[in-house]
Structure 1
Amino acid sequence: MTALWRILIALAGLMGAAGVALAAKAAHDPDASRLATASTILLFHACALLGTVALAERGIVQRRIGMVAALGLVLGAALFSGDLMMRQFAGDRLFPFAAPTGGMLLIGGWLVLAIAAAWPRRA
């Protein structure tokens, strides 16, 4: 297993931990719908990231394509959730169009994963 795969697994762990922490905060804050959404995005995509790494590492999907999908999931979740957290805690955006950009990266990551599953492996 390469160092990059280990980094992605560590990021999935951090995404999961942040998702649980945001869920806890959202449960105790009467006006925290943004945090609940950020939590959901992080938790779901942490699991998806682990699955993508496992599929690529085992050779079920091509590693390079799996890596692109994994990076899309990480960056997308960071931008989408980061923007929601900034709005909740700082009252301002991360940067203009951060959440939509993150959302598009997440969608792209899922589509690349679908392509990776359909793409024939090299012999």
Structure 2
Amino acid sequence: MARAERGLLALGALAGLLGVAASAAATHMAGTDSLKTAAQFLLFHAPAILALAGLSAMGLTHRRLTRLAGAALVLGLALFCGDLALRALHGTPLFPMAAPTGGFLLMAGWLFVGVAALIPAKHEAR
């Protein structure tokens, strides 16, 4: 398995870990609806990132686009969930427009997933 896929696996696992932690923290704190949303997004996307790493490693999808999709999802999660969590826990944003930028990257990541599924992997092009 290539370094890029190992990185995606590790980041997908980190998203799952942070999703569980944020969910637990939100349960014990009042007024943390945005932290609950961040936890949900992390937990929804973690298995997708893991799956993308596996699909890419096995050569079942277009490798570069699949890696790009995974990277967009990871960066989108970092910005979107990071901003929501920081606002919930410290009352301050990550930076202006971090959450919307992260949301856009998440949507782009899902678009890349679809495109990667439609474009044949190199060994299928024959």
Matched, 1:113 2:113: yes
CA distance in 1, matches of 2:58, 2:44: 21
What letter matches 1:70 in structure 2? G
CA distance in 2, matches of 1:25, 1:90: 13
What letter matches 1:101 in structure 2? T
Q: C-alpha deviations, 1:44-74, integer Å up to 9, x for none?
A: 1111100111111111111101010000000
Matched with 1:27 is 27
CA distance in 1, matches of 2:21, 2:86: 15
Kept in 1, the 8 Å contact 2:83–2:99? The answer is: yes
Tell me, what secondary structure is at the counterpart of 2:25?
Answer: helix
- 1:1-123 to 2 correspondence within 5 Å? 1-123=1-123
Q: Normalization by structure 2: what TM-score?
A: 0.94
Report how many aligned residue pairs link the two structures: 123
CA distance in 2, matches of 1:27, 1:16: 17
Q: Structure 1 unaligned runs (5+)?
A: none
Tell me, what secondary structure is at the counterpart of 2:84?
Answer: helix
Q: Over aligned residues, Cα RMSD in angstroms? A: 0.9
Percent identity over the alignment?
46
Q: Structure 2 unaligned runs (5+)?
A: none
Q: Normalization by structure 1: what TM-score?
A: 0.96
Per-residue deviation, 1:86: 1.1
Per-residue deviation, 1:25: 0.9
